[in-house]
Structure formats: C-alpha cells, structure tokens
Structure 1
Amino acid sequence: MSAFTPKTYQQQVLDSVEAYFKACHELPSPSIAFTATTERLWGRGNPYHPLPGFPADMPYFCLRVPTGGGKTWLAAKSVALVNTHLLRTEHSVILWLVPSKPIREQTIRALKNRSHPYHLALREAGPVTVLDLDEAKSVTRSTLDTTTTVIVATRQAFQVEEEECRKVYQSSGALMHHFDHLAPAQRAELLADGEGTERSTPYSLANVLRLRRPFVVVNEAHNSRTELAFDMLARFRPSGVMELTATPDVQRTPSNVLHSVSAAELKAEEMIKLPVLLQTEPHWQQCLADAIGRRDALQALADEERRAGAPYLRPLVLIQSEPRRAGVETLDFDKLRQELIANHGIPASEIVVATGEEKGLEQIDADYPLGMVDPACPVKFVITQKALAEGWDCPFAYILVSMASMSSSTAVEQLLGRVLRQPGASQRASPLLNQSYAFVVSRDFAETAGALRDRLVAGAGFERREVAEFVAAVLPDQARLDLEGHAGRVVLRPVAVALPEKPDLKSVPKTVRGKVSWDGQLNTLTISAPLTEDEAETLKACVSSPAAAAAIVQAAEVSRTTAIEFFQTPAELGERLRVPQLALRVPVQQGELVLFDDPEVLDYPWDVSLNDAAPTAADLSALGAALKVSEGGAIDIDEGSGKVFTRFLPELQRDLGLVYQPENWDAVRIATWLCRNLPEPSLTHPSKQAFVAAWLSDLLRRDGYTLARANLQKFQIRNLIEARIRELRKQAVGKAFQQALFGDDAAMRVAVSDQYAFEFAPHAYAPSRDYDGRFGQFDFRKHFYGRMGDFDSKEEFECARQLDMWAQQGRIQFWVRNLVRREGCSFFLQKADGRFYPDFVCQLPNGAVLVVEYKGADRWSSAEDDRLIGNLWAELSGGRCRFVMVKDRQWDGVRELLPCA
C-alpha cells in the first residue's frame, strides 16, 4: 500500500491544525489562539474550554471527523505539525491513546508497517519509533534523542487498578540512564515516592515522560475525559492534547472543536456511501429475502462494471441477529444461518458468523491474504449478534439487516459504520453502488427511521440536520410516513370523520391516542398525524359498530396519503445547478484548457533574488522574543494589548530545550537542514539553497547571533524563511496572474467553458453552520437545498430574502447560499492569492447563471480583486453567466440582471 493524496477536507483539517499551532506562539496564550483561529477559519470564534486537571493554557483541541473520514491517518499526519509548529523540536514523544486492545494492536501494526499510509504519514516527522507500553518501559535515551517516539496504549492502561498503570510508576534499572546529568529544574519536576527524608525518585516511565513532555493523541475520544484514566495523564505533564472523534462531547465537559468535518463533505469526496436507503418489513423471512435480492442486484451491477474495467467488488450483507435466550425462540445466528442455507440455497461457505462464540472473521483473515476483500474469498453474508470485532473494516459491506431493535445502539452504530465506507474511497459508475442499504424487521417505518437517524448522529458523527436527507425510504408508501425526513417541509391537513358512536380512546395506546382527538359536540374524530395500517387497526378496535370501524380505516388512509403535502427542494426534484468555471490554456498541455483552480498552473518562471535574502526587523524581533521563551523567561505583559502572556509555552520550550539539546552544527549543516525542511516545489533546489545560505549568513553577521543560537532557533528560522519565500512567490504569482488574465492577449489564454463546470450535487451541501434565524425569520421556498448556510450579516440575510422573493415571482428559478472553504460543495473563482467564494449562485429561467456577492461598505475597497475576477468570468462566458457585487442594499443592481417575470 502506498501513500495517498489527502482529500480536500483532510488537507483543510491539517491546515487548521497548523494555523492553530502557529497562533499559539504568535498570540498571548493557546486559549486566545484557539478562539482567534476558529474566528479566522469559520467566521465565529469558539470559546476555549480548559481541560479539567490540566494547566489552563495547555494547547487542547478536538478534530471532529465522522466515521469513514480517516481519523487515524490525520493523527499520523499531524505529528510532523506538532514537532515543527508547536514544539519546535526535531524529535518528540507522542502518547497515542486508543479505546481498546484490538484497536491498539491494529494501530501498532499499521504504524510500524513501512508501506502503510499511516506509517508514511508518520515518517514526515523524520525518523520514528513505534512502541507499545511494555516496550516503552525499557526505551533507551538514545531512541528518544534521535527519533520521534510514538507510544501506543489503551486509555484503560492508565486506570489505577490496572497492572500496566502500576508498572508505569515503578522504578526500573533499564531506565536509570535517563536521569543522568539532569538540570535542577528537571529534577524538581520528577515524581517522588515516600515522605520526608525517605523520599526517593523512582527511575520510572512516568518520570521519563514528565521529562519529555509528551504530546497526547486521543483517537476515537468518545467522551473519554470523564474517565479517571484520562485525568491520570496530567501526571505526565503533556505538552498538549489532540482529540479525534466522530462524536465530541459538547455539553458535560465540552471539547474545543477546532475543525468539524461533515458527512456531506465525505460524500462529496467519495469517502462514504450515502444516502442510507431504508426499508422496513414486519416479517423477518421476507425482510431477509428482500436483502438477498438487493445484494444480488448490486452484485450484477458490480460484475457489469468489472467487465468494463472497474475494480473487483463483492457486496456484503451484515446481519444483526437476536441474542439467544433460554426457553425463548429468537432469531439467533444459528436460525438465520439455517434460513439462508435451507430456504435461499446459500452455500455454507458464503456465510460467516462473528459472535463471542464463533470467530469466523479471524479465520477469513487467516485463510486469505487480502481478508474479506480477497477475490478468492466466497463470503457474502456476515452474521453477528452485538458487534463485530473491533478494528475489523471492510468497505465491501453494503447492506445492514437488523432482526433486533434498532434502538440497540452499540451494535447498530458499529454496523452502520462498516456499511458506510466506500470501496477504494471512490465512487462507482452506478449510483446504486454509491449508496448504503438497511433492512429492518419492524412494523413502524417512521419510528425505525428516527432510530436509524439517531444512531448516525450518536455513533457515526453525523450532524442532526444532515441525517434527515441521508436516510431515505425505498418504498413510496413508507416515504410518505417519513415526516422527519422532510422536517420543516411538510404540511399535514387534519382529517375529520363523523362517527355514529363515541370511541373509547382510553383503551388506545398512547402513541396512537396522541394523533387523534374527539369532539363530543360534533361527534367527530380528528386525525392530526398520519396513521399507519397497524395503527388504524388498533384505533378501530375502540368502536363497536362496523360503520364506525370502516370510517376510521378510510380516514386513516386519507391521513397518510392525500392529507400529506410534501414541499420538495429543487435538489430533491432532480434539478441541476451547473456553473461554468474559469479555465486556462497552458503551454505545457499543448494549449489545452485546464481548470484554473491553482495559481501554480500559471506560467511564471521565477527565482528568489539574493537581494531579498535577509531577515527583516520583524524577523529579528520575533527571534529575540522566542529566545526569551526558550530560556524560560516570562513576558508578563504585552505592551500593545496589555494582556498577560501565558507561562505554559515558555516553560514547555525551556523543558524541551533541556531534554532535546541540539548538536553543534556548522553553518553548512544548518543550511542543509533548513533546505530539507522547507518544502517549496516552485523553487529549484540550487536557488533555494543559495537563498537560505544568504539569509543565514546575513543573520550570523549580526550582533548576538551565533551558530549555537541559530542551531537552537532553527525551527523559528525555518518558519521565517518559509514566510519570506511565500511572500516573494505571491508577488511573482500576482504578476503572472495579472498578465495571464488581464493582459492584452488574455482572451487567447482564458475561457469560461462547459468543459469545466462546478455542479452542486444533491447530497454534498455541508455548511459549517446552518442559518438559525439570528437575523430574522423568512419562509425560504426556492433555496436549492433543504439546509441553508449561515449568513455573515443582516444585510446578507436581506439579500437572500430578496433573491427568494424574486424566485417566487418567477424571475429566478432557484438559488443557493454558496459556502466558503467547502471545496466539494462550493463554487469559487481562483485568484492569485486565494479563492473567491461568492455569496449566492442563482439559476435563471432562461438558463443563465447569476452570481451575487454582498459586500459591506467597510469592505468594498478591499474587494476590488473579487470584482475584477467576477466581471472577467461573466465577460468571458458569452452571456451565459452574470456577476454583480452589491452594497448598501442596492438591490436594483441585481434586478437589472434578471429576466422579466
């Protein structure tokens, strides 16, 4: 297995982590840095919640990534960012915590496997050593001094009653050499045993960790902070804590969510199979038969695609059986296996059972080199009872069949997670192979759909607003009962029926009684919510006459058919919204058009000038402040803001400086290290080498800047040189951008072509925040999606309201609130120094596309480049695209571009 290119959302997660680490050093404290970073990234600063029991200003944050989003790979990739941008040291200790022993073994194997993507991501931090907790108890000092050491353990290993935990605090002769030649400040921080004159300092792993200030990675956090085991970690004096989870705690002990990935983003990036198509069936044998039929149909599609060159695919059915109970007949795994074999002719070799009693999955992994996905493996059905083996993963799983209650949360959440993952993390040609399927033994579709949505939220990490559209009914009759799936877009007309007698509603179950009311004066029964056939049967039992019973049955049918009016969005109705994009003719592509989504496609040969290779006054000031930090000095008050600086980072830098003492390097070796750690693909190596050498030479000629100091501060120097090169590159790109797009012969190089068009996909709209009515209420009827991204201001909300009113008048067909930094679901125009995400995209009745940007008067001047690129895009479209930027509620500028009603 080789390294893979990160998905857009994954790169954005890593960019957010890097931005936060940099802000921790640039701003007074990590807590202020967190709020400032989230404000810059998402438009609204999130409050910082200190972790109980830990230093108040220790960097602590959470990455929220739903099931199937690649949390472990992101964690491995983040280690290099920890070293470079937070700790500013070549090597570190990473304490990597996982929820269970099976996950621990799986993680260690992957991180040690030199060809696995996890290991390759980890290696970006340089030489690495991966250990379990047992191996760590005899780790050598040279290992910690020369490699980034990742210690993988379960959270339970740090519970006081665990033997593993006690050994962490026990003295060991194998660790004695770690405590030679310690500075007084280091010895003062060690844990001691005993009291008074009998106190002694154990040569324990706990004390080794206290010296090394480990950074803690908590994978699959799931509210672990409520456990004593997590509180024990504070004794190791961690340098920071990063959680990765699908379901962060937001109430009891709130996580500091730095970046939140939505399920819609995973869908847009082809990582998961959505929507989940749900079908309920009261008879278990029919339910199983329906699932088998669906699997056979998917297999036929997979085989057809394979004949056309697609990869091998064998769709799997995961069946959740009922547990065995003494003296009670249940749909246990043995009965289901016999049903498959006896009544459906499924060969026994195609069925595997994975329960506490039978270890079928382990045998599959032993028998076939690629496990379940091996083409030689015959298995098509996996029967489990509670949950599958932790760590087992198979993207071939497509269908979940549940014989048990959907409210059995743990098993359903886990099985759903197995089914959601996309084979090969890329879509298949057939849409039916890009969806998941759930068949549940149940008489109540609405209740089952609600429970399934709850499980997606609680277990898979979906947002509550997403699940409405990500669980869909297969059968039309069941779709009409799925009111939650059309939340806010359903009109229920009460159905009143005259009865010749008073019904005995007290005898009716509460769930049915809540849907009806009796008017004794008019002798009418009013049904206010749809009644299923089973509920109608229950309700008619409360009357005695056949006429009354027949009237109830007839009224119930009306309540679930013609009395329900669904409002469907344009996306649900199958409308398409495609927006032509800017494209360039690139010489290296023989003049062919390529999508303009990266300034690097511009032809801008450049070389950094040695005249620019010198530290600025701001650079020297930053290095001076960083030196005080590394020496443990406290900068108590910032003269500019008057705010108190934190002591956490100064003390952390002091401790790391004592334990990771740099070698005595000469200028050539420092320059070589800087070049190796400055990834800048647009520069040739000789030009980068010359620039770095000149910058470093200029620094070393200044008073107080010795080789020893340059070696000590090489990470800060690296960051300063990187920022300078990026600024120079930005200037070069700006010139090339201006020439290519606005030069005399720009029309020969730039085009707006249908060859490249962004399409707003039906299930790929992922706002970081939904509009919650904070600027006012309005019944938006023409938005492309059921969800709507938040607005930045009241004026933006008023602009959207105006667009929707024009749409209701027929002057706009439909429109969408465009999102920012959501590349899989946003239209953008590329600029020299970033991307312009207009506020609104409108489909006009004549087929043209109108893009509207609202700018506050205070930001009008700074938006000149947005206006230039927007107008160029419209001009090159040949009338198919229109662009307008509005300020001061000047709606006439938009109205003039609309066709008459």
Structure 2
Amino acid sequence: MELKKYQQEVINDLTQFIEELDSTRHIGQAFTNFWESKGITVQSLDNDFLKPYDNSVKGVPRVTVKVPTAGGKTFIACNALKPIFDSFPLDKPQVVVWFVPSDTILKQTYENLNNPTHPYRQRIDAHFNGNVKVYDKEALLFGQGFNPIEVKEQLSILVLSVQSFVETVRKGLPRAYRENENLAEFATHFRDLKANLDNVDDTALIQVIAYLNPVIVIDESHNFEADLRVDMLNNINPSFIFDLTATPRNKSNIISFVDAIKLKKNNMVKLPVIVYNHQDTTEVLSSAIQMQKTLEAKAKAQEAKGGKYIRPIVLFQAQPKTSDDNVTFDKIKDSLIEIGIPENQIKIKTANKDEIKKIDLMSRDCEVRYIITVNALKEGWDCPFAYVLASLANKSSSVDVEQILGRVLRLPYVTKHQEDLLNYSYVFTSSNNFLNTLDKIILGLNKSGFSAKDYRIKEQQVESKIDTTTGKGSFEDLFGKQQEQPTPTTTANDEDEVEIKVDDVKELTGSERGTSQLEDILKLAGDTNAEFEKKMEELDKEDNLIPTELKEKIKSFPIKEVFKEDAEKEVIPTFHIKTAPSLIEPDNLIPLTKNLLLEGFELDKQDSNIDLTRTASKMASIDLAEGRKDEYVPEYKYVDNHVKEAFAEYLTTLTPEQKINQIAGRITKIIKKIDQIPEPQIIAYVKKIIGNLNSEKIAEITNNESIYANMIKDKIEILKEQYSEKKFDILLDKGTIVCKPLFKFSKKISPKKPIKSITKNLYIQEEDINDFEKQVINEVANLDSVVYWHRNLERGKGFLLNGFINHYPDFIVKMKNGNTILIETKGDYLDGSDSQQKLRLGEKWASKAGNNYRYFMVFKGEKLDGARTVAQLIDILKDMK
C-alpha cells in the first residue's frame, strides 16, 4: 500500500519541521519557521487552532496532524516513525509507545501492527529492515521478548491504552506501577539514567518505559483531553510526541492539515453528506428502505460492468426507552420484518446486545443490510458498506447522530465508483426542531474532522426552517466562511418510544408520494455533487501551500485590475529536460529538477580529500554553548556518555578493517539519505576518507561522529553541485535541456509581511523587502519604461529558476517593450559560490529563454564579474519602452 498524495504531504510536513528543528535546535522557533515557509505567521494569525508553539511538555517536540475520519491516520503514523527516528542520535533505543483511545481500537491496532501481511506492518518493516516487534501490555509486564538486548537491536512498538498510566488510578497501584522482577534487567542496563518517578520502583513498567525515552504516537488524541495530562506525559519521559486527530484542541501544535477536499479527491470518503428531514418516522423508514434497494441495484449494475462488490447498509438509530433496551430494539426489528425485510438482513448492535460481533459485514456471504443501534457504533467500528444513517427518534426527541455519523463516511475500496450515488452518504431524520438536529449533524461532522461545508440539507415540511432554495445553511459557500452553528433548543425525552406504523410504511413505500420523495433525495444528491465538484476544480487553481481551513484567516491580495489582462497572458519559461516519450508527456519534455542532473554520479569515485584537521573539541564547544539555554531545546539531541563509552569499548575488540567498517556504517547512518546516492556508495566514500587515518584520529572521530559526519556530508554536497553544473552545461549545449514557457502568476498571493508603498506593484500588496531591495525596485518602478513589478515569492510559491541549483530571483519586472526582467539584489560584495552560481544560472537562462527575457544581478557596491550596479541597471532598463 502506497501513501496517497495528501498523506505524503503530511510526512513531508513532518520532515520539514524536523529539519527546521535540527537547524535551529529550538522547538518554538522551528515551529515558527516551518509555518513562515508556507507564508503563515502564527504570531499574527487570528484563529482558535493554529497559534505559537505550546511548550507544555518541556524540551520535547510535540506536534499534531489534523486528519479527518477515513483519512488513514494509522498509516500516516506508520510512515512517520522513520523521519522521527532518523533525527535521533545513532544509539538511542528505537521505542514507540502507541496510545489508543479504546479497547476496541487497541485490539485492532495491535493485531494490525503485529500482522506481517498487513500494510501497516509491511511499511514499518520496510523502513526498519524487518527488525520490528510489537508488544501489548501483558507481554511487557511478563517480559516476553522484552529485554535490553532485544530493545537495542530492533524497533519496539508498545501498543497501550492511556488508562493504564493516568495518575488518578495510581491509588489502586495498577500493575504498570508495581515492582516487576521480569523487568529487572532494564534498571541494571540503563545505569546512568535516574528514576523518573518518585516512590515508584525502578523495575516498574512505567519506569522502564521512562528509561527508554520513547517516541509517543497518540491516535485520536482529542479523546485523551482529560487523561493525557502533561504530568502523565512527563512521567513517560518521551523524546518526541506525534498526535493524530480529526479535532485538534486549542494547545495542539498543528504542522499539517488534511481537509475534506483532499479526502474527496483521493476517494477516501463519501462526500457530500445528503441530509433529508422528513415529516415523520414513517417517511424515514420508507426512504431508508427504498434508498438501500436503490443503492444496491446500482451496486449490482456496477459490479456487472466489472466493479467491486458492494452491499449498502442502513444504520437505524433510535433512543432506548429504558436502561434495558432489548425490548425497544427487538420491537424495531420485529416491525422491519413485518414490513417485509428478511430477518437475516437485520441485526442489533447495542450496549447489551451485539449480533454483529463475529460477522464479516463486507463478505459476499453476509446478508446484513440493516443494523439497529443507539451509539454503540463509535470509533473502532469500520464498515465502508454503511451508507445511510436513519434516525428513528420521535419528532420531539433529540437526535444524537453526532456519535456515529463518522461511521458512514468511509468510501468502499478507496475508489470513485461509476455509479455516482455510491459516492455519497445519507442521513435521514424527522424532527420538529430541525435546527437542533442540524446542530447534531454539524457536531458529528466536526467530530469526524469535517465541517458544515461538507453536507447538503433539505427539509420536507410545509414551513421550512431552512432556506433550501438558496442553499443557506448548507455549503453554498463551500470551503469558505463557516456558518454559525444553530443552538439546540430541545432536549431528549427519554420516555418517548419509537413508533413504527407498519401499514403506513408499506403503503408509502412504492407509492407515488414515496417514489417522488426518493427522486427528490436523488436529485438533491446529484445537484449537490455537481456543486461540490465545481468547487474542487476552483480550489485546485489556488495556492495549495496554505491549508483550506486557514485561507479565510490569512489576508490575500489579488492582481491589480489595471495589470490583470497583461499578467494573465504572461508565461515565463523554465528549464525542461528531454526524456523518452510517454502517454503523459508525448512531447518528451518534463520540468528539470536537480536530481535529474545526478544521473551517472558515482560518489565512491569522486575526490575524497577533506580537511579533518579542525579539532572536534572546538567545533563541539559551539554546539554546547547553545545547548539547554531554555526549555525549548529538544532533549533528545544529547546522548549519555555511557553509550559512547560502550561503543568505544566494543571497537577495541575489532580488527582494523572491522573497525573502519563499523565507523563508516555509523557515519553513513548519521549522514542519512542523500538524494540520488545509494547508501553503499556513501559507505565506500566514507571508508575512502577515514581508511588511512591514524588510530588517534579514528578515536576522535569515534567520540564525535556527528561532527565529522556533517563535515563529510558538506563535502558530498559540494561534489554533487560541481557534477550537476557540469552535466547541466553539457546537456544545455546538446539541446537536451531547453527552455519552455511554464510559470504563470497566481490570481492571489498571501505575503507574510505585506507592503504597498511603491508604485506599479503587480498585486495590491507585495511581500516585504529590505532597504537595498527597496532602493532598487523604487528606482526601477519609477522608470517610464516599466509596466509593473512583482516581489517574487519563494518556497514553491513563486517563480523558480530551476537548474543545477534552485534559484528564486528577487523581482520580476515587465517592460513596455515586452521584455520580462528577472532581478536578483545583493547588498554587499559576496565572493561566495551561491552568488556566483545564481549569476551563472541566470545568464544561461536568459540566453535560452528568448529575446524577450533578461537576468540581472545587482550589487550595492563592489560586484562580481557580470553583475551590475544600480546605476548600470537603471541605464539598461530606461530605454525598454
């Protein structure tokens, strides 16, 4: 099973945050930098969910991913483990505490992660070379395969419930807090680690977990608001906390949003939700039965044309009359049978009666089409065949659909079905106070990570409380500003009994009125989806770096009307490379990326001369001076000395060749993945560098692996750049690399710090600029020859001059003679490779883009050969009229 595009984007976000963390060594700053790279300043954002970093768990990165129901949270978590552990010191134990919200999900998660054939486990095995073991609480308490030697050699995943560790239950001294001779080895092995909890034995499971400094994965973290307190997390002594939830809390440090539109595009969910309020329970039953038959007929027709097997299921939800609810639900079942539904198609699932416990609802042999429940089908119950949620509550009763609405949202087989009706979900109710019911539906969508934008309603009453003709109260402003949620005005009447008039249901089902009502529902579904699809197409054209949920919170600025027509025609060339023709690219041209230039690069054959004379102690002192200056520094960056001592002692037992192999392997792991370079080549290259060093230098490298690994990595990056540029020049001369129009201006931009004080800016407000940039563009903008200018945005949002490096020039300027000018500004003379490379790339681009394109690098004072001063630039541009 491969990651969906949006799931990969989540992993990319996590990786980017970790890279910022490695760079800044400050959790709060890394979080700020991460969002600024997407054009969002969290300090100034007015919202309830994305705020400056909350540092409740001191010194431990804690981040949240918002993923709606059916978004594949567990699979995302499985893929998140590798980038997290890759950021840790080499000898840190690879231990995960995987917290789940309920016994049902605990059982499912343990079984799936422990099953070698399950996609979750297969992905983890692939990332950790199959050295993986999954434990439940019982295995941990009895030390079954859980010991210091096993833990050192593998990834250990501990699947647990929070309830086992909450402070409030310690009065009864649960087993996790008791002395445990089965775990005594851990206390001896981790001798340098101090006990984390007072008055708890060193051999207790909670204490052992604290020794191991685990990564914590929290599935459905919103369910732990009460139990998962800061003191409880500190007791476990985590190194990294990764939260996944559909509904983040106020203090969540969200690094990635997955919204409904992404799930819909990837065929994960049945959206939109079609909500239809009937006049009474009779109509609800009739519509539910007819809809089930209609959907099943569509499913059979689709399967006959090669589609997959689907048997649509209706969830009938009613409220119990008494605490002993069997009578009420058996009565509903009897009524459905009397209506004509075969008994084997009806099952009851309540707190006291579970008729689906051992049934595979997705099996072709299963006959179940109707399930009667209250709220027993919550998280952990998963059947994509559930299509219709029908409330059988009396008109005066509260409808608690929010508890199970998420159960009908998952799309069967994660694929768009040929029969459109099989791509939506349906909610049928009958309520005098539909606003109250609607509030419950919105709440149910919210609990599942969706919003009031993702459904469509219609009320079948004489005096409708919802304006269904205009769509007010639905998603008319799909993915725009949310409507205010209605306030409940009625409460449930526990004495109400579900009333089913069997004869009335029989009469209505199949009658002209019943048929008309069903057609009304089907038309609503079709019209709704057309609107939904249209909005999806519009959103595809917008800036996708900013999550949909944040777009309305961030100021965006359109192109000025005076420049709109000209700007829409502008298409700026970028570099493309010729490849073998394909169905996707019949012209065999694809945008050039740096990695495509590394084809044929063999690292182990490159120059291995590198200056290793700088003492590690001097380099390390800089690092240590910044360490622990405040509680935002990630604690996991510091490795205990006994770990280094143990490895040094181990090396003494090896031959010189074995010693070099060990050190090269460890340094390669610290260097981690380098694009386009296989790991064996990196190992061979490291061996080439350290193979002839004396024993004293080898010992120094052993004690300072990360420092020397970074030095070697820097050398490799230089070699890559040199190779890429040579390859670029050769392919450019051969005509294999060409310039082809590609970049178009966005309709709107969202600058981090807008400015508006300079004339002829393309957008109503542009991105902020420094003093020298302001001097340059002010003089340029005031030339009669200039039509408009734009401050180019970076990080994937603006024009990328792609080549052997990625270069985002500072300004794009349009001239009256039709020329398009790229300007890069440099305040002072910089004899650095970056400026020289940018200038070389810019000049090559201008020579290939065509006669209407120019590139200039401008310096304030002394300049590089080929660059310009401000005066020289103005003299060139002034005549381009």
Q: TM-score, normalised by structure 2?
A: 0.66
1:175-194 CA deviation, whole Å, 9 max, x = no partner?
A: 222233655x43x4455549
Kindly state the Cα deviation for residue 222 of structure 1 after the two structures are TM-superposed. 0.7
> Are residue 340 (structure 1) and residue 314 (structure 2) matched?
no
2:222 touches 2:247 (CA, 8 Å); kept in 1?
yes
Counterpart pick for 2:348 among 353, 356, 374: 353
1:602 touches 1:737 (CA, 8 Å); kept in 2?
no
Corresponding residue SS for 1:363: coil
> Are residue 125 (structure 1) and residue 128 (structure 2) matched?
yes
Distance in 2 (alpha carbons) for counterparts of 1:409 and 1:179: 55
Change (3 A) 1:243 1:656: farther
1:89 touches 1:660 (CA, 8 Å); kept in 2?
no
Match in the other structure for 1:290:
287
Distance in 1 (alpha carbons) for counterparts of 2:637 and 2:338: 70
1:50-72 CA deviation, whole Å, 9 max, x = no partner?
A: 454x4x32222222222112211
Q: Give the counterpart letter for 1:293 in structure 2.
A: Q
Distance in 2 (alpha carbons) for counterparts of 1:645 and 1:615: 40
1:272 touches 1:422 (CA, 8 Å); kept in 2?
yes
> Are residue 385 (structure 1) and residue 388 (structure 2) matched?
no
Change (3 A) 1:297 1:737: farther
1:406 touches 1:412 (CA, 8 Å); kept in 2?
no
Q: Give the counterpart letter for 1:320 in structure 2.
A: Q
Counterpart pick for 1:461 among 449, 458, 461: 449
Match in the other structure for 1:473:
457
1:33-56 CA deviation, whole Å, 9 max, x = no partner?
A: 22222322453246554454x4x3
Kindly state the Cα deviation for residue 334 of structure 1 after the two structures are TM-superposed. 2.9
Match in the other structure for 2:362:
373
Q: Give the counterpart letter for 1:39 in structure 2.
A: E
Match in the other structure for 2:552:
none
Kindly state the Cα deviation for residue 27 of structure 1 after the two structures are TM-superposed. 1.7
2:90 touches 2:669 (CA, 8 Å); kept in 1?
no
Match in the other structure for 1:168:
176
Match in the other structure for 2:11:
14
Kindly state the Cα deviation for residue 731 of structure 1 after the two structures are TM-superposed. 6.4
Distance in 2 (alpha carbons) for counterparts of 1:863 and 1:441: 70
Kindly state the Cα deviation for residue 156 of structure 1 after the two structures are TM-superposed. 0.8
Change (3 A) 1:684 1:214: closer
Distance in 1 (alpha carbons) for counterparts of 2:258 and 2:646: 35
Kindly state the Cα deviation for residue 85 of structure 1 after the two structures are TM-superposed. 0.6
Corresponding residue SS for 2:474: helix
1:223 touches 1:248 (CA, 8 Å); kept in 2?
no
Match in the other structure for 1:653:
639
What is the number of residues matched between the two proteins? Answer: 701
Corresponding residue SS for 1:20: helix
1:405-427 CA deviation, whole Å, 9 max, x = no partner?
A: 99999963442222222222222
Q: Which runs of 5+ in 1 are unaligned?
A: 195-200, 365-370, 490-508, 513-567, 759-782, 804-817, 839-852, 877-901
Q: Give the counterpart letter for 2:640 in structure 1.
A: R
Q: Give the counterpart letter for 1:380 in structure 2.
A: R
Match in the other structure for 1:313:
310
Match in the other structure for 2:391:
402
> Are residue 236 (structure 1) and residue 254 (structure 2) matched?
no
1:793-804 equivalences in 2 (<5 Å): 794=754
1:146-179 CA deviation, whole Å, 9 max, x = no partner?
A: 2222211111111345479632232222222223
Q: Give the counterpart letter for 1:342 in structure 2.
A: E
Distance in 2 (alpha carbons) for counterparts of 1:855 and 1:382: 65
Match in the other structure for 2:660:
667
Change (3 A) 1:168 1:869: farther
Change (3 A) 1:9 1:171: same
Match in the other structure for 1:806:
none
Kindly state the Cα deviation for residue 471 of structure 1 after the two structures are TM-superposed. 0.9
2:401 touches 2:440 (CA, 8 Å); kept in 1?
no
Q: Give the counterpart letter for 1:653 in structure 2.
A: V
Kindly state the Cα deviation for residue 82 of structure 1 after the two structures are TM-superposed. 2.4
Distance in 2 (alpha carbons) for counterparts of 1:487 and 1:794: 31
Distance in 2 (alpha carbons) for counterparts of 1:240 and 1:322: 43
Match in the other structure for 1:64:
66
Distance in 2 (alpha carbons) for counterparts of 1:273 and 1:422: 5
Distance in 1 (alpha carbons) for counterparts of 2:590 and 2:394: 51
1:585 touches 1:750 (CA, 8 Å); kept in 2?
no
Counterpart pick for 2:139 among 135, 160, 181: 135
Counterpart pick for 1:256 among 253, 256, 260: 253
Match in the other structure for 1:157:
164
Kindly state the Cα deviation for residue 385 of structure 1 after the two structures are TM-superposed. 0.9
1:97-122 CA deviation, whole Å, 9 max, x = no partner?
A: 11112211111111111111221233
1:606-658 CA deviation, whole Å, 9 max, x = no partner?
A: 213457565867x99897688669xxx942589xxxx7696653784227837
Match in the other structure for 2:88:
86
Corresponding residue SS for 1:31: helix
1:305 touches 1:429 (CA, 8 Å); kept in 2?
yes
Change (3 A) 1:592 1:604: farther
Counterpart pick for 1:74 among 76, 79, 96: 76
Counterpart pick for 2:104 among 83, 102, 105: 102
Corresponding residue SS for 1:372: coil
- Which is bigger in relative contact order (C-alpha 8 A, separation at least 6)? 2
Kindly state the Cα deviation for residue 740 of structure 1 after the two structures are TM-superposed. 6.9
Change (3 A) 1:360 1:731: farther
Corresponding residue SS for 1:242: strand
> Are residue 635 (structure 1) and residue 639 (structure 2) matched?
no
Match in the other structure for 2:693:
701
Change (3 A) 1:479 1:91: same
Distance in 2 (alpha carbons) for counterparts of 1:292 and 1:390: 26
Distance in 2 (alpha carbons) for counterparts of 1:483 and 1:362: 41
Match in the other structure for 2:186:
178
1:212 touches 1:659 (CA, 8 Å); kept in 2?
no
Q: Give the counterpart letter for 2:135 in structure 1.
A: L
Distance in 2 (alpha carbons) for counterparts of 1:134 and 1:19: 37
Match in the other structure for 1:772:
none
Change (3 A) 1:190 1:235: closer
Corresponding residue SS for 1:287: helix
1:741 touches 1:750 (CA, 8 Å); kept in 2?
no
Q: Give the counterpart letter for 1:470 in structure 2.
A: D
2:268 touches 2:415 (CA, 8 Å); kept in 1?
yes
Corresponding residue SS for 1:479: coil
Distance in 2 (alpha carbons) for counterparts of 1:873 and 1:291: 62
1:18 touches 1:85 (CA, 8 Å); kept in 2?
no
Kindly state the Cα deviation for residue 294 of structure 1 after the two structures are TM-superposed. 2.5
1:465-864 equivalences in 2 (<5 Å): 467-473=451-457, 479-480=468-469, 482-485=471-474, 571=534, 586-587=579-580, 589=582, 592-593=586-587, 596=590, 599=593, 602=596, 605-610=599-604, 614=608, 634-636=624-626, 649=635, 652-654=638-640, 657=643, 663-664=650-651, 666-672=659-665, 678-679=672-673, 682-683=676-677, 687-697=681-691, 701=693, 705-706=697-698, 710=701, 744=735, 790=750, 792=752, 794=754, 831=802
Q: TM-score, normalised by structure 1?
A: 0.65
Match in the other structure for 2:568:
none
Corresponding residue SS for 1:243: strand
Change (3 A) 1:214 1:573: closer
